[in-house]
Amino acid sequence: MEPPDDKTVRFQINGRSHEGTRGESLLAAIRRHGYEVPSLCYHEAVSPYGACRLCLVEVKRGRRQKLTTSCNYPLQEGIEVFLDTDRVVRHRRTILQLLLAMAPEAEELRSLAAEYGVEDTPFVTDEEHADNACILCGLCNRVCNEVVGAHAIAFAGRGLHKRMESPYDDVAEACIGCGACVFVCPTSCIGIEETEQMRRILKWHRDLPMQKCAACGRPFAPTFQIMHFADKIGVERSHFDRCPDCR
């Protein structure tokens, strides 16, 4: 039988036939069909990046069968996908151990590791950055670029010294303090603090004064963020004088 149109492709997951859209993320297609594949760096709202390596699957195309990350594998006609083969599970365990060495305390990572029977890591944990549970998944950076459009943070350094940071590890001047990075971070390593006067994004060293509502006097968003919004959607600043409750 011919596929209904040239966008629809047929492929197999663990030997069962399924349909998907050509070129979409393999991980998204697998999950849509009700299978489970773990991941930490994938988010449906941003482009896939393949950094955490946990979404490993085996893909057979023609006569070649190989291990690959599914999040950034574009779906193709006729591929066969195998989710939990011994090889996948073995590699995933090692990856979990490596990630645990970077962030031994991260709750989500720990519970994921426990599902694979990984309680501890044989690798050397990074003592120098013990307070920094970043696993370099880059999700905060992609969210900041693609969803927020602020471009406030980026990777710096290479190899062992690679890290996610604000420019020169100084105050991130472009950060609007929206907290989107805090919300998506899989290891909760960014940190946000809020008081009456200030919102602080700890990892990017950003302190933003809060705007008070003209009607009720309650602080509701950082002033800099409101300026960003006003510019972006082209309305008067005064539109944001009041908080959403009083508007």
Least distance in angstroms from the C-beta of 73 to other proteins: 20
Residue with tokens 């031994």: 104
The footprint of other proteins on residues 130-189 (CB under 8 A) is 143, 147-148, 178-180, 182-184
Q: Is residue 88 near other proteins by the rule CB under 8 A?
A: no
- How far is the C-alpha of 57 from the C-alpha of 17, rounded, in Å? 16
The correct pick among 47, 89, 114, 123 for binding other proteins (CB under 8 A) is: 114
Q: Is residue 221 near other proteins by the rule CB under 8 A?
A: yes
The correct pick among 217, 234, 236, 238 for binding other proteins (CB under 8 A) is: 217
- How far is the C-alpha of 131 from the C-alpha of 189, rounded, in Å? 9
Residue with tokens 């105050």: 171
Residue 73: phi and psi, rounded to 5, are: -100, 115
Distance from the Cα of residue 228 to its chain's centroid? 23
The correct pick among 43, 53, 203, 206 for binding other proteins (CB under 8 A) is: 43
Q: Is residue 82 near other proteins by the rule CB under 8 A?
A: no
- How far is the C-alpha of 186 from the C-alpha of 39, rounded, in Å? 10
Least Cα distance to 129 among 173, 164, 79 occurs for 164
Q: Is residue 86 near other proteins by the rule CB under 8 A?
A: no
Least Cα distance to 240 among 193, 176, 179, 190 occurs for 176
**Piece of the chain touching other proteins by CB under 8 A; list 10-18, 60-68, 123-131, 212-220:** 212-220
Question: Under the rule (CB under 8 A), what is the footprint of other proteins?
Answer: 36, 43-45, 107, 111, 114-117, 143, 147-148, 178-180, 182-184, 192, 194, 196, 199, 216-218, 220-221, 229, 244-245
